[in-house]
Amino acid sequence: MNIRHVPCMICSFADRRKDIMDLQLMRLRKLAGYKSRDVFADKIGVNRHTYKSWETGTTKMTLEQAYNCAVALNCTIDEIAGLVHAPASEDPHRAALERYYDAMDDEGHAVLAESARLMSRNRDARP
């Protein structure tokens, strides 16, 4: 499959995601030492207006464009999109609890937290 013309799925989330991604692209560019949009656009071989449109969210990037930015910024495409992955726990019990917690609704979260509080050494602690 030619990725040049495949819209980047991470770039087509709801509008609230668009704002996060815009902020991350600019933040990552500056973090990598590119103070100017134009300098970075030149570095990755993209028209300056095109790059500005990505950073401001007026145009979506293709997967290939997101990849090229990630390589130049020494980051991942997920970071550009604002996706945060919590590090996996090394303790298998903690990892299992985190998976169960993630699968629960708000009521389940409250019940699990209360159960953990009652089983802990610090039973008087409240959230």
- Per-residue model confidence (pLDDT) at position 28: 95
Tokens standing for residue 38: 């134009």
Per-residue pLDDT for the chain (127 aa), expressed as one digit of tens each?
Answer: 444 444 444 444 444 555 665 678 999 999 999 999 999 999 999 999 999 999 988 999 999 999 999 999 999 999 998 887 777 778 888 888 888 888 989 999 899 999 988 888 776 666 5
pTM of the model: 0.55
- Tell me where in the chain the CATH 1.10.260 domain(s) lie: 24-81
**Burial of 65 per CB tally in 10 Å (0-12, 13-18, 19+):** buried
- Which CATH number is correct for 24-81, 1.10.260, 2.30.42, 3.30.930, 1.10.357? 1.10.260
State the pLDDT at residue 18.
55
Closest by alpha carbon to 85, among 72, 75, 73?
Answer: 75
For the chain, the first-to-last Cα distance in angstroms comes to 50
